[in-house]
Amino acid sequence: MQARSEAAQGAAAGEHVVIVGAGFGGLACAKELGRSGVRVTVIDRHNYHLFVPLLYQVATAALSPADIAEPVRQMLRRYKSVDVILGEVTGIDTGRRVLTLSHGQDIAYDRLVVATGSLYNYFGRDHWARYAPGVKGIEDARDIRARLLLAFEKAEMSPDEETQRALMTTVIIGGGPTGVEMAGAVAELARHALARDFRRIDPRSANILLVEAGPTILSGFPVTLQRYAMEALERLGVEVLTGAMVEDIRPEGAVIGGRFVPAGTLVWAAGVKASPAGGWLGVEAGPGGRIRVDPDLSVPERDNVYAIGDGALSVGEDGAPLPALAQVAKQQGSHLGRAMAANILRGEAMTAFRFRNRGNTAIIGRHAAVFDFGEWKLKGRVAWLLWAFVHVFLLVGFENRVLVSAQWLWRYLTYQRSARLISWMPAPGASARGDRPG
């Protein structure tokens, strides 16, 4: 038994697995490999793991960034065979099996896992990002929060009613779960948290527009849940525009269906595309720039290279591409880590990944949420309570769970939001990542 254990440890030490990206998929894979003693290096350009599903709450002043982030080293410190490097990958030589980082360092690997996630897709209008940032990172969320709160401050200072109306108009582009959640959160911020804080304006009169180019919001949900979400948003005072195309975005507003809508804040939630990792690997990308993978999550024609998460084009049992969701990435990471450890340590064949749907959800506002489990569906207060339980459970650290639970309870009882800080002043037309102090 001891000899077999030592042999396994030796095999594990001999194989070096490099994981690019410390999101849900990358971390799940690293933990499974770390439990088996396989030598792993995790590379990410941030030193923290971000719980992206709650990022919109940072953007709407409900939570602080530290509430939904955890240091990567802290999360992986119990796995002695796992190392962490803070760096940004700029290229991959699959022939030599070497990655190059932005500061010039080369990292050799025996097996490579690409888990670099996704970016917002502006469909060829990338300059729109300067005026309508998406919610993909802490910087984006802080940027939106600053723009949103600053718009109300400017409205308070303006003597002109038309200017006030424009500044208190928020346009959210995209009717998927992120857009719906953002619209509900902005409405609650204006109608409740800010309602009594100003003297010259009434934040309750703020206009929140949710714009969707398709015929309905939450297109991936059943019709009954779509209708409920629409009604819940309308009760919050959100104006939902379906079948409406955004034709142009400017610093002072957006052109929607041929009509210019002045707005103080614009938010993009209309779609995602994969990170540029496919270009690093020299493979032809699939729809949305995602890397095509075989059933075992390996990249065709690239030896010992695997892709998981939002950037991987993996298909389900029905032949349709799996959605870019956290639960997909996490399941892929856990499966790949276990399969790879078994292959390295015991020579077992790599097995195919099978996705198990744990349900799709979106919260609309206070006591309003939808949950789709396929065969059965939930909406209203029960779905809202389940949404809160699931998201608190999935938060990575115990401290984070306690803090978020306490803040949600306080917000529920008082309607107040504790993270209403304008920590920097965005320059006119500034991008989400530029013109900001370090």
Instruction: Catalogue all structural domains in the chain, each as residue range(s) with its CATH number.
Output: 2-45+87-120+272-346 (3.50.50.60), 126-270+366-414 (3.50.50.100)
User: How much is the pLDDT for 196?
Assistant: 87
SS3 call for 287: helix
Question: What percentage of the chain reaches a pLDDT higher than 90?
Answer: 72
Q: Mean per-residue pLDDT for 233-240? A: 97
pLDDT of 281 > 50? The answer is: yes
Whether the predicted pLDDT of 421 surpasses 90 = no
Contact 326, 24 (CB under 8 A): yes
pLDDT tens column, 48-93: 999 899 899 999 988 888 888 899 999 999 999 999 999 999 999 9
Q: When comparing pLDDT for 23 and 385, which is higher?
A: 23
pLDDT at 396: 65
Question: Between residues 361 and 278, which one has the greater pLDDT?
Answer: 361
Q: What are phi and psi of 388, to 5 degrees?
A: -65, -45
Strand partners, 71: 48
- Is the pLDDT at 4 greater than 80? The verdict is no
Say what the pLDDT of residue 426 is: 60
Average pLDDT for residues 357-382, to the nearest whole number? Answer: 91
Residue type at position 107: I
Q: What is the dihedral of CA 129, 134, 136, 139, to 10 degrees?
A: 70
CA nearest neighbour of 365 among 227, 242, 188: 188
Average pLDDT over residues 352-364: 93
**Tens of pLDDT along 170-228?**
999 999 999 999 999 999 999 988 988 999 999 999 999 999 999 999 999 999 999 99
Instruction: Find the catalytic residue in 15, 32, 181, 212.
Output: 181
User: What separation, in Å, do the N-terminal and C-terminal C-alpha atoms of the chain show?
Assistant: 54
Neighbours of 349 (CB within 10 A): 8
* pLDDT at position 277: 86
What average pLDDT does the structure give for the chain? Answer: 89
Question: Does residue 23 have a pLDDT over 60?
Answer: yes
The reported pLDDT for the residue numbered 13 is: 52
Determine the pLDDT at residue 424. Answer: 63
pLDDT for residue 387: 87
Sign of CA dihedral 340, 119, 97, 287: positive
Note if 6 is an active site residue.
no
**Residue 437 confidence (pLDDT) above 80:** no
Dist. CA 54–CA 387, nearest whole Å: 11
**pLDDT mean over 84-109:** 95
Name the more confident of 110 and 405: 110
Banded model confidence at residue 375, pLDDT cuts 50, 70, 90: confident
Residue pair 142/58 in contact by the 8 Å Cβ criterion: yes
pLDDT higher than 60, residue 1: no
CA atoms within 13 A on the CB side of 275: 22
Residue type, 237: G
